[in-house]
Structure formats: C-alpha cells, structure tokens
Amino acid sequence: MNKPETGNNGWRLILRHMSTLSLILTVFLSFPSLATTHKTLFSTEQQKAIEDTIRKFILENPETILESIQKMEARQTHVKEQRVQKTLVDRKEDLVNDSGSYVGGNPNGDITLVEFFDYQCGYCKRVHPTVRKLLKEDGNIRFVYKEFPILGPASVYAARAAIASRAQDKYLEFHNTLMEIKGSLSKAVVLKTAESVGLDADKLVRDIELQEADAGNVMKLNYDLAKDLDINGTPAFIVGSTVIRGAADLASLKQAIAIGRAGKKAQGG
C-alpha cells in the first residue's frame, strides 16, 4: 500500500498547495451567497478563530492534507491519461499516417514509432544518435517524423525547409545534418546546411514559399496532436499506447517498442 508522502518532500508539496488551500478558505468566507450568513453567525473574532483553527489543523496534521492533495493529483493524472489514450485511438491516422510527415526507418515495418522534435532542441540533438542506433539495430521499425517547432522563428524556418526538402528527396539527409548542428539556427545556417547535403538552395527557397500554406497545415496538425497528447516539449515519442516525454535512452525506447509489438500481437495485429 502506498503511504502518504512525508518528510521534506511532503512539506514541499504542502507549501506548493498552501496558496490553493488559503484561496479556498478565503473564497468560502467571502462567497456572496455566504457573506451575509457568516457575518451574522460569526463575529470578527470568531471568524479569525476559525481561520486559526484550520491553519493549526493543517500544520499539525500534514498527512491528512497530503492524502487529499495526492488523491486530487492522482485523479487529475488519471483523467489526463484517459484523454491521451482516447486521442491515440481517435487520431491514430493523423499520428501515424499523415502524408505531411516523412516516414523513415522501414516504411513497411511491423511497429510505428513517432517522434515530435524541434531542430533547435538540445535534448532532441542529444537523443538523435540513440534514435539512429535504434533504427539501425531494429530494421522493422516504421519511424514517423513530426515537425514540432516550438523554439522560435528559426525553428519554424528549419521545419519549413525540411518539409520543402522532400521535393528533392533529401529529407532524411537534411534532417540528420540539422540535428547534428551545434548552436542556434538561422535562415543562413539552414540554407548552408541544405547545400551541404546536396540540396539546390535556390529551389529549396522557392519550394518553402510555394509550400508555405501546406507546411503550415502540417505543423498545425502536429501542434494540435501534441496538445491533445499532453506534449508540451521536445522530444516526445509515441509507440502504441505509450507516450514518452523527454530524451529517452535506448533501453527505454526498446522496451516501449517491445510493449507496442506485444500489444499489437494481443489484438491480432
């Protein structure tokens, strides 16, 4: 059985929610429909005594407050996870078969792994070699690249350029090289990188302009998916019913893949 959190961590949790508890008390005592009642029933001294009693109870019985807070947080987490799982089912096609997202690895693989990333994200760059190693070791993974630029205009431009690079069949080379760049990106850096992998930079610029609306739709779809999946940062990985938020190590990704395959097998997939 799980026990209520105590010690320093417990106090930190109480302090984190103390403002909420105080607000509840204040609202209760000042709510319009109760205002007349409590003023009639309690004098100022009695009202202060009630508040002092509640505060004293909180300080002397932190485990009771912690139990309530933890139960509330557990309920909120459960509701959020249910919403995420519903999205994985309801929006599966958008997640794994959207034509605007490049598919790498083995396009005919038996399991699909999706990554949301930003070309300026340090954690994405850190996990990139791990992803490449995973795809090299397991040749049966279908990998979906979700452009999710959240770190400013340079990230958006890099994502637009990557999407446009598909017209020259250079997406994967361009993507990998952008992920290996150290430091911040700029339009000049993106175009120089494009040239380094054999892209015609002039054509790429024209394609970026021509595909502005289409690329915008691709990114909007990914933003909406991320919101529904409670993804607030990069990188994030999805396989089957598993969502991994953050730079997962190789073992964690392999485990998620194994769970995903087991789930498909159980469903007869």
Nearest Cα neighbor of 131 from 115, 120, 118 is 115
pLDDT confidence of residue 3 = 40
Residue 9 has pLDDT above 80, yes or no: no
Query: Whole-model pTM?
Result: 0.75
Mean pLDDT of 168-185: 97
pLDDT confidence of residue 2 = 36
pLDDT confidence of residue 27 = 45
Mean pLDDT of 65-84: 78
Residue 183 has pLDDT above 60, yes or no: yes
Half-sphere exposure in the Cβ direction for 248 (13 Å, CA): 26
Mean pLDDT of 138-148: 98
Q: Are 235 and 246 in contact (CB under 8 A)?
A: yes
pLDDT confidence of residue 241 = 94
Nearest Cα neighbor of 131 from 194, 92, 176, 184 is 176
Per-residue confidence band for 6, with pLDDT thresholds at 50, 70 and 90? very low
Mean pLDDT of 53-73: 77
pLDDT digits (tens, 9 = 90+) for 108-131: 999 999 999 999 999 999 999 999
Residue 187 has pLDDT above 70, yes or no: yes
pLDDT confidence of residue 26 = 52
pLDDT confidence of residue 44 = 83
Beta bridge partners of 116: 146, 236
- Give the range among 26-40, 95-109, 149-163 with minimum mean pLDDT: 26-40
Residues 6+ apart with CB under 8 A from 261: 110, 111
Phi, then psi, of 12 in degrees rounded to 5? -60, -40
Q: How far is CA 66 from CA 13, 21, 69, 77, 161, in A?
A: 7, 12, 5, 16, 50
In CATH, which superfamily holds the domain spanning 93-266? Glutaredoxin (3.40.30.10)
Q: How far is CA 40 from CA 46, 51, 91, in A?
A: 11, 17, 55
Q: Are 244 and 134 in contact (CB under 8 A)?
A: no
Spatial separation of the C-alpha atoms in residues 15 and 20, rounded to whole Å:
10
Spatial separation of the C-alpha atoms in residues 235 and 124, rounded to whole Å:
5
pLDDT confidence of residue 32 = 47
Residue 174 has pLDDT above 60, yes or no: yes
- Give the range among 38-42, 84-88, 95-99, 233-237 with minimum mean pLDDT: 38-42
Residue type, 26: T
pLDDT confidence of residue 176 = 98
Q: How far is CA 36 from CA 59, 111, 141, 200, in A?
A: 29, 64, 66, 75
Task: Write the DSSP symbol of residue 101.
Answer: S
Of all residues in the chain, what percent carry a pLDDT higher than 70?
A: 84
Residue 33 has pLDDT above 60, yes or no: no
Say if residue 234 is exposed, middle or buried (CB neighbours under 10 Å; 0-12, 13-18, 19+): buried
